[in-house]
Amino acid sequence: MYFTLLAIHSLLRWLVLISLVLVPIIGYTGWLTGRSFTKRDNLLRLVATTVCHIQAVVGITLYFVSPVIDYFLHNYGTAVHMRQIRFFGMEHSLMMLVAVVLVTIGSAKAKRKTADKDKFKTLAVWFTIGLVVVLLNIPWPFSPLVARPFLRGF
Ligand code: HEM
């Protein structure tokens, strides 16, 4: 269960990233060119937001089954000083939740805007901030302190 969830979570990261790159691209181009906000744009907004929500649900589930988190919660006093354990116990989980909330707010605000230009602008700004937060909190293989693989086998 734990390793399957970890592999799913690792794989879903790529869908999250693709979503968080595509939405700002259509946001900025739509905003700058002044084109109409189509049903396809709206579908992309919806799919991107849903992908982030699914990743959050998998991440939260992982939080309850991960031995790393189990160690963190049961040995808080010492674990909070261990960079790799604290990263997943606090920084990663909290900041990723913040990113998902930002994306959700942006998506909901864009939906409520009436002018197409405002829809594009809202998506561009909120999803770009979400993307930056996600990029900064992924444990990349090249991260100096907490490195994890690009993909994990099931
Ligand atoms: C939404 C964007 C998120 C992305 C892109 C993301 C990405 C990742 C990646 C790449 C890993 C490393 C996987 C591996 O070791 O192969 C990971 C681990 C983990 N993530 Fe996330 N994550 C996200 C959200 C969350 C959230 C919201 C939570 C919990 C509240 C969470 C909890 C965890 C935990 C507990 C681990 C691993 C702990 C362990 O190694 O046992 N993640 N995440």
pLDDT tens for 54-91 read 999 999 999 999 999 999 999 999 999 999 999 999 99
Nearest to 117 by CA among 52, 43, 36: 36
7 CA from centroid of ligand 1 (Å): 10
* 113-140 per-position pLDDT tens digit: 999 999 999 999 999 999 999 999 999 9
Ligand 1 touching residue 128 (CB < 6 A): no
> Is residue 142 over pLDDT 90?
yes
Ligand 1 touching residue 133 (CB < 6 A): no
151 located within any domain: no
83 located within any domain: yes
pLDDT at 102: 98
Burial class of 115 by CB neighbour count within 10 A (0 to 12, 13 to 18, 19+):
exposed
* Chain mean position to CA 13: 7
Q: With cut-offs at 50, 70 and 90, classify the pLDDT of residue 100.
A: very high
Write 30-36 long-range contacts (CB < 8 A, 24+): 30/116, 30/117, 30/119, 30/120, 31/117, 31/120, 31/121, 31/124, 34/117, 35/116, 36/116
29 located within any domain: yes
144 located within any domain: no
73 located within any domain: yes
Structural domain tally of the chain?
Answer: 1
Domain range for 117: 2-137
pLDDT at 154: 83
> Is residue 93 over pLDDT 90?
yes
Ligand 1 touching residue 85 (CB < 6 A): no
> Is residue 145 over pLDDT 90?
no
Backbone phi, then psi, for 99, in 5-degree steps? -60, -45
Ligand 1 touching residue 102 (CB < 6 A): no
149 located within any domain: no
131 located within any domain: yes
110 located within any domain: yes
The rounded percent of the chain whose pLDDT value lies above 70 is 100
pLDDT at 99: 98
